[in-house]
Chains A and B, each alone.
Chain A
Amino acid sequence: MPALIRIEGVIRRFGDIVAVAGVDLDIQAGELFALLGGSGCGKTTLLRLLAGFEAPDEGRIVIDGVDMTGVPPYARPVNMMFQSYALFPHMSVARNVAYGLERERLPRAEIEARVAQVLDLVELGAHAGRKPHQLSGGQRQRVALARAIVKRPKVLLLDEPLAALDRKLRERTQLELVELQRRLGITFVMVTHDQDEAMTMATRIAVMDRGRIVQVGAPAEIYEQPVNRFVADFIGLANIFEGDIVGRSDGLLRIRCGPLGGEIAAPAVAGLAGGAVSLAIRPEKLSLRRDDAANTGGLAGHVRDVVYLGDESIFHVALQTGATVQVTRMNAQRRASAAITRGDAVRVTWADDAVVVMPQ
């Protein structure tokens, strides 16, 4: 099946700044696709290129088989939900939502019916007559959403749709959005700098860095198999070390890594056969045991700090090799009698396949 959205070699410059530095990307119909990256990496610019507010300096964008070069925003089969919502302040909620349908010159009765239907969908039917400034932030967000989906676009572009909401509301709305996306069958392309949000909502994630896409994949793929140090560091917590490939045995790479106590084994990665590499181990894939007669394997160290997060705790462990690692443990029991605390001598172990090898 051909991709619904096809971005081919797109470059966008602002003076000396290259906001989008050569992006190739295919997005399939029905996806909830997230563009994830740090501030200023070009996420918004890429979204605006899709909406038609910016034109690529090089490359082209094809949506649903039609080359979008030279097609103005008002003629594109996409709608955008703006980060600032951009609701028309002089119009009521209903008029805001009706605006896009009025542009299509639909019959009055149909417009009213569809507006009412969408307002019910976002649970704002009771507020149809209000002006945007009479609404709460969460309600405004839902008006913006209603206004963007009422035209039933092929693609809905969302620029940090939940950034202005407080945490509780944000988490609830994330799930509502996913649910809505499934029900409507509209393809969502969402910009976010919040990795939890991307992991929670997206079917696929593109991680961006300095105008480029570094990795595209399902959330689990990006978390478990980051392609480089940047992705490993950006998504979740990671213990990252430098090492050298010294050999291969039984499908495992032998890697020399001083901070991890000498030579370790790691799953082989296509294209990496020798030389300097980076290693990443997620903190939950390290295990922590008391350093006593019963536990002898792994690396010795002592707990320098414990960060209690409620559901889990993060242990900062100073290894005898001189390195410091972070280890997370679920707080499965309310009061663990054998709880490890600050200053305790511990041993840190991991499975071979917990180690991700990446080019340096």
Chain B
Amino acid sequence: MSATARTVARGAPWGRAATILVPYLWLLLFFAAPFAIVAAISLGDYTPDTVPPVTLTWSGKAYALLVGDALYAAAYLNSLRIAAIATIVTLLIGYPMAYTIARAPAGWRGPLLMAVILPFWTSFLIRIYAWMGILSENGLLNQVLRGSGLVDDPGTLLGTEWAIYLGIAYAYLPFMVLPLYASLEKMDAALLEAAADLGARPWTAFRTVTLPLSLPGIVGGCLLVFIPAVGEFVIPDLLGGTGTLMIGKVLWDEFFSNGDWPMASAVAMAMLVVLVAPIVLFQRARARDLAGR
């Protein structure tokens, strides 16, 4: 034991440096470098005749267009709105699930969590296609509704924003459930008993104890759903209507339809700014909160 400890101690400085270096190297290679390239392209000029179709000029023409054309601002706002609503829908579905799992007998929690993650084992695309089958005019949902005789003309969900909310909630549910579960599970059950003992009915106990104590999980889960949902492309494209304007789709069109690399890069950079600002503000607030305690 002591011999091993000594070996580790001797190897420590080098080993520690390596362990710190690896994530930084990773960040440099797969985040910083691509980011720099995209940033550089976004500042360049679109030259359709060159390969690639961009000339690095630092002109920033794409940004001028981004600000000038109301379409982009509308797309950003629409994306934020849809992502926000979808996040709330996901929270409303995910919270009861996480709560139930956290309160289940210990032996059940593992399997139940597994069940939440299980859909990830099938291809994302296939699952979204399946939702098209369910939500379409003559899809499973409408067949059931008509068959039950309750509704004659149920209308079609596919192609509406509700189909997008549903798709996002379905696809991102585990990202909501897992952080919520983590914060609910570590809550001491005696706290709820104490609340009841002091005269709180179950709903009051939930509102005054469980909810505030799960706030970190709520914020974490919402961020994990909201951030990718803003840039989501596949779900609005497949489940939403042709009229749905989302920034992911705009980016796709700029890049693949128009081949305008600088514009596509500028859209991506702007999206990053839009998303980073709230995250940084949130982290600041949290740090201040922690320091103040």
Chain A contacts with B in 56-76, Cβ cutoff 8 A: 72-74
- How far, in angstroms, from A52 to B197 measured CA to CA in the complex? 8
Q: Which residue of A lies closest to B213 (CB)?
A: A90
Q: Which residues of B, 195-215, contact A by the 8 Å Cβ criterion?
A: 195-201, 204, 208-209, 212-213
Closest to A76 in B: B197
- What residues of B have a CB within 8 angstroms of the CB of A87 in the complex? 194
In order of increasing CB-CB distance, the 3 nearest A-B pairs are A100-B198, A103-B199, A86-B190
Q: Which residues of A contact B194 (CB under 8 A)?
A: 80, 82, 86-88, 147
Which residue in B193, B200, B201, B293 is a CB contact (below 8 Å) of A86?
B193
Q: A131 an interface residue at 8 Å Cβ cutoff?
A: yes
Contact A88:B191 (CB < 8 A) given known A99-B208, A131-B293 = yes
Please pick, from B188, B195, B213, the residue contacting A84 in the complex, using a CB distance under 8 A.
Answer: B188
Q: Are A103 and B193 closer than 8 Å at their CB atoms?
A: no
Residues of B within 8 A of A104 (CB): 199
Given the contacts A90-B212, A131-B293, A79 and B200 also touching, CB distance less than 8 Å: no
Q: Quick check: is A53 within 8 A (CB to CB) of the other chain?
A: yes
Task: Judge whether A74 and B200 touch: CB under 8 Å.
Answer: yes
The residue from A89, A90, A151 contacting B199, defined by CB atoms under 8 A apart: A151
Question: How far, in Å, is A42 (CB) from chain B's closest CB?
Answer: 18
Specify which of B190, B196, B208, B209 is in contact with A73 (CB 8 Å cutoff): B196
The distance in angstroms between the C-alpha atoms of A84 and B193, with both chains bound, is: 12
* Chain A positions within 8 Å of B190 at CB level: 82, 84, 86
CA distance A99 to B209 in the complex (A): 11
Give the interface size bracket for B toward A.
10 to 19
A51 located at the interface, meaning its Cβ lies under 8 Å from any Cβ of chain B in the complex: yes
B198–A79 contact, CB under 8 A? yes
The distance in angstroms between the C-alpha atoms of A151 and B194, with both chains bound, is 13
The majority secondary structure among interface residues of chain B is helix
- Evaluate contact between B196 and A74: CB separation under 8 angstroms: yes
Known: A82-B194, A86-B194. A74 touches B199 (CB 8 A): yes
Contact A88 to B209, CB < 8 A, known contacts A74-B200, A131-B293, A147-B198: yes
* Most chain A CB atoms below 10 A, which of B193, B198, B204, B209: B198
- The answer to whether A103 and B204 touch (CB under 8 A), given A79-B198, A86-B190, is yes
User: Within the assembled complex, what's the spacing in Å between the Cα atoms of A89 and B188?
Assistant: 10
Contact assessment for B198 and A103 in the assembled complex, using a CB-CB cutoff below 8 Å: yes
Q: Of all chain B residues, which has the CB nearest A150?
A: B198
4 further A-B pairs in the complex, CB-CB below 8 A; given A103-B204, A133-B293:
A52-B196, A78-B197, A88-B195, A147-B194
Which residues in A have their C-beta under 8 angstroms from that of B293? 131, 133-134
Which residues of B in the span 159-180 have a Cβ within 8 Å of any Cβ on A? Answer: none
Contacts of A100 in B (CB 8 A): 198-199
Least Cβ distance of B116 to chain A in Å?
Answer: 27
* A99 vs B196: C-alpha distance when bound (angstroms): 11
Complex Cα distance A51/B5, Å? 51
Chain B residues in 8 Å Cβ range of A84: 188, 190
CB of B65, distance to nearest CB on chain A (Å): 48
Known: A89-B213, A131-B293, A147-B198. A73 touches B204 (CB 8 A): no
> Which chain A residue shows the least CB distance to B190?
A86
- List the B side residues contacting A99 at CB < 8 Å: 195, 198, 200, 208
Q: How far is the CA of A99 from the CA of B190 in the complex (A)?
A: 15
- Chain A stretch 144-167: residues in CB contact (< 8 A) with chain B: 147, 151
Q: Measured between alpha carbons, how far is A74 from B198 in the docked complex, in Å? A: 6
With contact pairs A100-B198, A103-B200, A151-B198 given, residues A73 and B191 touching in the complex (Cβ less than 8 Å) = no
User: Judging by beta carbons under 8 Å apart, are B208 and A53 in contact?
Assistant: no
Chain B positions within 8 Å of A103 at CB level: 198-200, 204
Q: How far is the CA of A133 from the CA of B212 in the complex (A)?
A: 17
Q: Which of A70-115 contact B (CB under 8 A)?
A: 72-74, 78-80, 82, 84, 86-90, 99-100, 103-104
CA distance A90 to B188 in the complex (A): 13
Task: Contact check, B199 vs A86: say whether CB atoms are below 8 A apart.
Answer: no
Q: List 9 A-B contacts (CB under 8 A).
A: A51-B197, A74-B196, A80-B197, A84-B188, A103-B198, A103-B199, A103-B200, A103-B204, A147-B198
Residues of chain B contacted by A52 (CB below 8 angstroms): 196
The distance in angstroms between the C-alpha atoms of A53 and B194, with both chains bound, is 10
Residues of chain A lying within 8 A (CB to CB) of residue B193: 51, 53, 73, 80, 82, 86
Give Cα distance in the complex from A53 to B192, angstroms: 11
Known: A84-B188, A103-B204. A74 touches B209 (CB 8 A): no
> A131: shortest Cβ distance to chain B, in Å?
6
With a cutoff of 8 Å between Cβ atoms, the chain A residues found around residue B209 in the complex are 88
CB-based contact A72/B208 at 8 Å: no
A86 touching B198 by the CB < 8 A rule?
no
B188 A73 Cβ-Cβ under 8 A: no
Q: Which residues of A contact B197 (CB under 8 A)?
A: 51, 73-74, 78-80
A87 to B198, CA, bound (A): 12
B212 and A74 within 8 A (CB): no
